[in-house]
Amino acid sequence: MGRYLGIGRLIIVMFIGIIMTGCSSNSDVSKTASDPNIASKEGGTLVIARLSDAENLDQQFMSTINAASVTHHKIYEGLVQRDKNGEIQPMLAESWKQTDNTTWEFKLRDDVTFHDGTPFNADAVKKTFDRLLDPAVASPRAVVFEMVKEVKPIDEYTVQFILKEPFSPLLSILANHEGGIISPKTIEKYGKKIIQEPNGTGPFVFDSWSPGQEITLVKNKNYWGNEPKVDKVIFKVVPEDSTRISMIETGEAQIAEPLPIAVMDQVESSAAMDVYRSEGYGTEYVGFNVKNEPFNDVRVRKAIAHAIEMDSIIKGVFNNVGVKANSLMGSKVFGYDASLEAYDYNLKEAKKLMAEAGYSKGLDATILTMDSKERVNLAEVLQSQLKGIGINLKVQVMEYGSFVEQVNKGQSEMFIISWRNATGDADYNQYNLFHTNSQGAAGNTFFYSNQKVDDLIDAARKEKEEGKRKDLYAEAQEIELADTPYIPVRVIENLAAVAKDVKGFSISPSGYLEINEVTIK
């Protein structure tokens, strides 16, 4: 969430996204601060020009950080949240404790109401998670909370999460968008269907959605916490990169994201805007559908990994934005293993593996990518490099939503995607991307299955001691790298163009747009 990341249309994690948060110190290298000598004022409308629309507005169905950015910490809120240093802090829950290995108890705020006026209480928490976990609802995000046996109200403002087995990273996923609490009236209205009018407790209220065009939120004047600084936010869908940038020049928008690397220089030289940059938790990678020929043969996958010269890709395609990755986790994620070494560039070894797999004369394959400039450029470089081992690679460029849907369904051979770790904990990466239970829209679009890896991931979920958890994740990542269902490309940097008259904007390491403190001069 982030393909960080309703997985309903994935993404994987990036933006696919996804598509599809745990926080570092929000080490933002942005230059977006406006002139400190000019005072900012509250009010006004913030227009965010975005590459893609949300696939839906139901946090129990969305799979991408792209979609979750519209609702998370804006419409919906969870029991806990991460601060800018990545630490878990109270939100709708004032405090919590573990009463035993499988029981977590939360004391809730008593001064919160949903946007429709319904009181927030323990029963609302129960109804939210009952819907998420109901097999008849078939939420693709239910897998994230599958360890929950029961959500049990103790009194009006006390609720317990009773787990099937110990689960150490519970708070990290409660802080993620899947943990957003929904109004009971909205649940009653929509039931098993995807929610079209999201209703939560957050600082912004849903106003309207014109699919493919824009989503509008307005300030919640009855918000229990610190009210947002702007009166209205419009997420406007603008597929053309140059148009998004020009909208800031003309004042039609204040933020444009994502920012293509190719136009960074243009933005940096502009008198109207600056480049926002911050390190993300997620990575960009090339994936294989390991169930489909010829990529059900690990030798073919390894041959391709050895045939890719990644250093030149990082420099030529990405202009050194984002460092070369050695796994599918950024270095700030708990459980990241710095000792892992990605496959080296070795054409001799690649050709040997191809011959051993029976493809000494090469093969034909198709790589899918969403319609973003960097992804298309990457695909074309791969197309060129893989000719060196006889692979005729066809590049198929798709609209983002269609791309996500096709990859989720396993209608792929190779694909370029990203996963924005939504919690900052390795479990969100490992379970969603590699566990057998997560195949398909939940994140494992490799359709990868390895019982040893499943066992290690399951063991790490139960282990309380952090050092032992890291060891378990390190072993799992070594096996995954050897099995090669993916080729890591780079650690993602969050990029946006931000008008110079905007202050207070940030993007979390998970990739969520943070706008509650935004002011416009």
Q: Determine the average pLDDT of the residues in 464-485.
A: 96
Tell me the per-residue pLDDT of 376-405, one tens digit each, with 9 for 90 and over.
999 999 999 999 999 999 999 999 889 999
Average per-residue pLDDT for the chain: 91
Token output for 263: 């136009």
Whether residue 141 has pLDDT greater than 50: yes
Whether residue 17 has pLDDT greater than 70: no
Classified as helix, coil or strand, 470 is: helix
Whole-angstrom Cα distance, residue 394 to residue 308?
16
Tell me the per-residue pLDDT of 401-449, one tens digit each, with 9 for 90 and over.
899 999 999 999 999 999 988 888 999 899 999 999 999 988 999 999 9
Whether residue 154 has pLDDT greater than 50: yes
Specify the residue for token string 């059900």. Answer: 296
Q: What is the pTM of this model?
A: 0.77
Whole-angstrom Cα distance, residue 21 to residue 280?
9
For residues 458-483, one letter each, b for 16 or more C-beta atoms within 10 angstroms of the residue's C-beta and e for the rest, the string is bebbbbeeeeebbbbbbbbbbebbeb
Environment class of 339 (CB within 10 Å of its CB; exposed 0-12, middle 13-18, buried 19+) = exposed
What pLDDT score does 255 carry? 98
What is the dihedral sign for C-alpha 22, 200, 20, 518?
A: negative
Q: Determine the average pLDDT of the residues in 47-55.
A: 95
What pLDDT score does 42 carry? 81
Whole-angstrom Cα distance, residue 134 to residue 341?
41
- ∠ CA 42-243-367, rounded to 5°: 120
DSSP string, 123-172: HHHHHHHHHHH-TTT--TTGGGGTTEEEEEEEETTEEEEEESS--TTHHH
What pLDDT score does 86 carry? 79
Classified as helix, coil or strand, 472 is: helix
The residue type of 306 is: H
Helices (H), 326-465: 347-356, 373-386, 400-408, 426-434, 451-462
Q: Is CATH 3.40.50.12280 what the domain over 281-494 is classified as, yes or no?
A: no
Q: Could you tell me what percent of the chain has a pLDDT over 70?
A: 92
Nearest in space to 359 (alpha carbons), one of 285, 307, 291: 307
What pLDDT score does 81 carry? 95
Confidence of residue 40 (pLDDT cuts 50, 70, 90): low
Confidence of residue 300 (pLDDT cuts 50, 70, 90): very high
Tell me the per-residue pLDDT of 244-258, one tens digit each, with 9 for 90 and over.
999 999 999 999 999
Whole-angstrom Cα distance, residue 408 to residue 366?
16
What pLDDT score does 434 carry? 98
Environment class of 41 (CB within 10 Å of its CB; exposed 0-12, middle 13-18, buried 19+) = exposed
Tell me the per-residue pLDDT of 353-383, one tens digit each, with 9 for 90 and over.
999 999 999 999 999 999 888 999 999 999 9
The residue type of 191 is: G
What pLDDT score does 279 carry? 86
Tell me the per-residue pLDDT of 104-116, one tens digit each, with 9 for 90 and over.
999 999 999 999 9
Q: Could you tell me what percent of the chain has a pLDDT over 90?
A: 83
Token output for 383: 């197309």
Tell me the per-residue pLDDT of 217-235, one tens digit each, with 9 for 90 and over.
999 999 999 999 999 999 9
**Of residues 398 and 65, which shows the higher confidence score?**
398
Confidence of residue 7 (pLDDT cuts 50, 70, 90): very low
Whole-angstrom Cα distance, residue 350 to residue 338?
25
Give Cα separations from 372 to 14, 258, 439 (angstroms).
Answer: 11, 10, 25
Confidence of residue 165 (pLDDT cuts 50, 70, 90): very high
Whether residue 36 has pLDDT greater than 50: no
